[in-house]
């Protein structure tokens, strides 16, 4: 059953290389970036794995192309290089 929802426009800041990987993955999966992020969040909320082994392979390829070396353990330890400290 299809559910009707209301989407809102938002401005979020995301690490540059991570965004490139997400955009590349969304394109590979033929979906919008917003749909991909919604799916990731909904899977995470239910502690469910969002990707097949094949898709994980594509993610690894995209991470290599865009030099994304961040891992989940880095997620709360990142410092924005554009912050001036004020």
Q: Is the dihedral of CA 50, 34, 38, 4 positive or negative?
A: negative
- Residue range 13-58, pLDDT digits in tens: 999 999 999 999 999 999 999 999 999 999 999 999 999 999 999 9
**Structure tokens belonging to residue 51:** 């990707």
Question: What is d(CA 73, CA 19) in angstroms, rounded to the nearest whole number?
Answer: 18
Question: What is d(CA 33, CA 14) in angstroms, rounded to the nearest whole number?
Answer: 13
- Which pTM does this prediction carry? 0.87
Question: What is d(CA 68, CA 83) in angstroms, rounded to the nearest whole number?
Answer: 20
**Domain limits of the chain?**
16-67
């Amino acid at each position: 059953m299809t559910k009707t929802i209301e989407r809102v426009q938002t401005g979020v800041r995301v690490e540059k290389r991570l965004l490139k990987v997400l955009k590349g993955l969304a394109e590979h999966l033929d979906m919008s970036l917003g749909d991909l992020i919604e799916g990731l969040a909904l899977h995470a909320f239910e502690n469910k794995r969002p990707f097949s082994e094949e898709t994980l392979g594509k993610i690894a390829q995209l991470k290599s192309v865009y030099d994304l070396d961040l891992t989940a353990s880095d997620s709360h330890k990142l410092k924005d290089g554009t912050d001036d400290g004020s």
